Amino acid sequence: MAPEKSTRRLGRGLEALFNASPSKSETAPVPGDTAFQEITVAQIRSNPFQPRKTFNPGDLRELQNSLQSTGLLQPITVRPGPGASGGYELIAGERRLRAAINIGWTHIPAVIKDLSDQEILTSALVENLQRTDLNPVEEANGYNQLIKDFGFTQQVVAEMVGKDRSTIANVLRILNLPPAVRQLLQDGDLTQGQARPLLGLENAARITALAHEIVAKALSAREVEQRVRESSQPANAARRGRPRKIDNRPAEIRSLEQYLRKYFQTDVTVSLRSQNRGSITIDFYSPEDLERLTGLLGLRQDQ
């Protein structure tokens, strides 16, 4: 049976924000708001509300090659610099701007909009989420900034980005992990599925130690859950439990499994039934997680 098409789409985004709170762009449209113009890259300052902090060098090189061969297909978006500072402040298109600067461009096509701080943050957050560009920590920080800086509830944030409120709440819990563990998530060495059970431990040192053990031993999310349960039991009770299963799979299979976990940012299990046959299981934890994974696999439910 063909999968049912999803009726949810990522990010009511700015529409939800604009309907909830009038902006400067609604009351005072800027000339050229719907058309682009060439501006000098030296006039553009970075977006202070950009939730994305890491940029893949390989992806950036591919974009640079694309700009050199076909030019810029989509202009960046900027707003006039605040106060009397002049110039422009980037709203969307930081990868495009970085790639253009790297190949020596002095001018770049841009759409100029007059947006508020909260509109800029939401725009950048939605844009990156639509491309699944944010790592879990960046995503959590973006939601947290919308809540703390602008007073939005989790429900309002969920409506902005087209996700369930429970999904927003679960992502925000990542910020309760120790800094070293959040760094592993940012680097892609730890997936959300592996990190989520760690929140069941109260001791930060134990959480950090187990996180490093997860990476070193390529533990699955289920194995992490078992370790957390054992940590919550008396020592003698843990010893009476079932002995841990020894992983007899070839090293290259275990290495492949860890690579797939890092790539998909979720729990992946590679099982062998015989020398040349087996299966790959990819776990998801919400409808949005499933949509993200189908996108990574090149499958779209609306196609």
Q: Show the DSSP H helices in 21-177 as ranges.
A: 24-27, 57-70, 94-102, 117-130, 136-150, 154-161, 165-172
Residue 295: how many other CB atoms lie within 10 Å: 15
3-state secondary structure at position 201: coil
Which residues does 172 contact at the CB level (< 8 Å), separation at least 6?
A: 140, 143, 144, 147, 154
94 is annotated as an active-site residue: yes
Query: The sheet that has 36-40: what strands, in order across it?
Result: 36-40, 107-112, 76-80, 88-92, 44-45
Catalytic-labelled residue, pool 15, 62, 94, 127: 94
CA 166 to chain centre: 17
Go through 65-99 and write b for each residue having 16 or more CB atoms within 10 A of its CB, e for each that does not. Answer: eebeeeebeebbbbbeeeeeeeebbbbbbbbbbeb
On whether the CB atoms of residues 34 and 181 are closer than 8 A, the answer is no
On whether the CB atoms of residues 134 and 95 are closer than 8 A, the answer is no
Give the residue numbers marked as catalytic. Answer: 94
